[in-house]
Amino acid sequence: MKIAIIGCTHAGIAAIKQILKYYPESEITVYERHAEISYLSCGTYLHLGGSVKNLDDVLYADPEDFIKQGVTMKMEHDVIRIDADEHTILAQDLKTKELVHDTYDKLIMATGSITAIPAITGVENTKVMLCKTCDQAHELYAAAQKCHQVTIIGGGYAGVELAEGYIKSGHQVTLIQRGPQILDEYTDPVIAKQIQNLLVKKGVKVLVNTTVTKLSDLSDEKLEITTTNGTYNSDMAVICPGVIPQSDLLNGQINLAKNGAIITDPYMGTSDPDIFAAGDNTEVHYNPTLSSAYIPLASHAVRQGTLAGINVLDKRLKSIGTQATTGMLLFDTTVACTGLTLAKAKAAHFEAGSAFYQGNYRPDFMPTTAKITIELVYDKNSRKILGAQLISDHEVSQSANTLSVVIQNENTIDELAFMDMLFSPNFDEPFNYLNLAAQVAVDQEGGYWRSN
Ligand SMILES: Cc1cc2nc3c(=O)[nH]c(=O)nc-3n(C[C@H](O)[C@H](O)[C@H](O)COP(=O)(O)OP(=O)(O)OC[C@H]3O[C@@H](n4cnc5c(N)ncnc54)[C@H](O)[C@@H]3O)c2cc1C
């Protein structure tokens, strides 16, 4: 069997590993536009902030290792056409410009996403940069050495993390967000405000309810940023908007969602039985709403790529869906989220409520402790947990993972209130803070549901 994989970042690499394990007799050919594989985009802010000394250290896979295992790695090859009926691929060698014709029995599309460039006048200015690929990370780092004022456009995860990176490298940072709060995909206003306050305390100028309308040269060195809330000068700007799925090669040949994401079955198969897809170019099955959603994350890409590799010759393992759990360490504060925010739960027509728990994560008699804030989102009718957001100077990311499982298993606030959690004064109170957050929700709903 001849298996072609297009795109070799997280989804593509995960697929190759499984094909080598489960189908060692198959012939694998990989097409990748870039010279390197496996760049983790989060490495960019970590490098800017000094936590990662060398950008190459962020790469976790080497094409040579796959070549040694018999994989044909067509690096710096851009696939420009796929004929799904004929099972053919046309690619261009970006070094020699030569065209390469190939065929496949099975194809895995791991082409990911590209940055959705907003339609702002002057966005093509050379002082305006992007932050997804390894090449872009090198450019950002080089530019940062010559600049002092940095403006970040977009207050999602990437923008907030970059703001931290630039503050740590001694830059003057402005973060511009169109809507009323930062991180609006993952947090509700209370937690978002805490994060915004932290950024401001660390020196970031945060502008919400502000839309950038124009980017223009003020001088050779300075960029003028015109917004709905005034005009600002900056040495450079970084755009951190969302991404869009790269599926153009199969447009009109397989079923795509409205936004262009490839529609897959739980095995990562597409409407063409010989084409699989994984990663940022596909949708996920989002358990909180029991529907498909476009939520591009590396954690999704590795799981979907793994499934595509396992299932490519034998559909044997289904996806169990996702809660889209995320986390970040912002300065010394952990922010972790899973499932729906209250706003999104209401938009999805749940009769949703949210409960806040605030307290110290472990007893005050311990040498140190830290405040923890949890917002638990739940369905008032079924009492099932729909989502949660946690923020603390204590490490709470694994609690978001626990809540992810709670949502996956459709547990209720009543069950979470009593769910078995360890106790030791080193770690928590006799009732863990997740139990306590659920108990707040139970009290809000007038007490426990009878269990008989
Ligand atoms: C700044 C930033 C920080 C992030 N941080 C996190 C994080 O902390 N946690 C998290 O879970 N997610 C994070 N993400 C999201 C994560 O980076 C993506 O979800 C992930 O990269 C998706 O992997 P992928 O393999 O599906 O696609 P991509 O990373 O987009 O890779 C697709 C690959 O396909 C290749 N390709 C595409 N078309 C062709 C073609 N025609 N021919 C040849 N090759 C082609 C591309 O060159 C690329 O290498 C972050 C994203 C950004 C931008």
Over residues 157-208, the pLDDT tens digits come to 999 999 999 999 999 999 999 999 999 999 999 999 999 999 999 999 999 9
For a ligand 1 pocket test, name from 280, 299, 335 the mutation site with the most ligand atoms within 8 angstroms of its C-beta: 280
CB 191 within 8 A of CB 375: yes
Using the structure block, give the residue that is written with the tokens 């923890």.
372
**Ranges of H-type helices in 211-332:** 298-311
Q: C-alpha angle with apex 339: 400 to 183, nearest 5 degrees?
A: 85
Task: Compute how many other C-beta atoms are within 10 angstroms of the C-beta atom of residue 67.
Answer: 13
**Residue with CA at minimum distance from ligand 1 atom 46:** 7
Distance of CA 378 from the midpoint of ligand 1 (Å): 32
Tell me which residues have their CB closer than 6 angstroms to ligand 1: 6-12, 31-34, 41-42, 44, 78-79, 110-113, 131-132, 158, 246, 249, 279-280, 296-299, 301
> Tokens at residue 267, please?
């095995």
In a 10 Å sphere around its CB, with 0-12 CB exposed, 13-18 middle and 19+ buried, how is residue 285 labelled?
Answer: middle
CA of 9 relative to ligand 1 center, distance in Å: 6
Written in H, E and C, the secondary structure of 341-391 is CHHHHHHCCCCEEEEEEEEECCCCCCCCCCEEEEEEEEECCCCEEEEEEEE
Query: Angle, nearest 10°, between helix axes 397-408 and 433-444?
Result: 50
Confidence band for 451, pLDDT divided at 50, 70 and 90: confident
pTM attached to this predicted model: 0.96
What percent of the chain shows pLDDT beyond 90?
96
Q: pLDDT grade, residue 379 (50/70/90)?
A: very high
Distance between Cα 319 and ligand 1 center (Å): 20
Category of 211 on φ-ψ map: left (φ > 0), alpha (ψ -120 to 50) or beta: beta
pLDDT at 203: 98
Output the CA 187–ligand 1 centroid distance in Å: 23
Which residue puts its alpha carbon closest to atom 7 of ligand 1?
42
Atom 38 in ligand 1: residue holding the nearest Cα: 111
Which helix (H) or strand (E) segment holds residue 333: the answer is strand 333-339
Q: How far apart are CA 341 and CA 109, in angstroms?
A: 31
Report the SS3 class of residue 68. helix
Q: Which residues are catalytic?
A: 10, 42
Tokens of 112: 């990911």
Best residue among 297, 304, 330 to mutate for probing ligand 1's pocket (most ligand atoms within 8 Å of CB) is 297
Cβ-Cβ contacts under 8 Å for 96 (sequence gap 6 or more): none
pLDDT digits (tens, 9 = 90+) for 200-250: 999 999 999 999 999 999 988 899 999 999 999 999 999 998 899 999 999
Collapsing DSSP states into helix, strand and coil, what is residue 163? helix
Residue 10 neighbours by CB under 8 Å, 6+ apart: 38, 40, 279, 298, 301, 302, 305
Concatenated DSSP letters of 383-444:
-BEEEEEEEESS--HHHHHHHHHHHHTT-BHHHHHH------TTT--SS-HHHHHHHHHHHH
Domains delineated in the chain = 2-34+76-114+243-311 (3.50.50.60), 128-239 (3.50.50.60), 326-444 (3.30.390.30)
Gap from CA of 335 to ligand 1 centroid (Å): 22
State the closest ligand 1 atom to the C-alpha of 113, by its place in the atom list counted from 1. 30
Determine the atom of ligand 1 nearest the C-alpha atom of 12.
25
143 membership: H or E segment, kind and range: helix 134-146
What pLDDT, in 10s, does the model give residues 261-305?
A: 999 999 999 999 999 999 999 999 999 999 999 999 999 999 999
Among protein residues, the one with the nearest Cα to ligand 1's atom 47 is 33
Q: pLDDT by residue (tens digit) across 298-352?
A: 999 999 999 999 999 999 999 999 999 999 999 999 999 999 999 999 999 999 9
CA–CA dist 182, 199 (Å, integer): 11
201 C-alpha vs ligand 1 centroid, how far in Å?
32
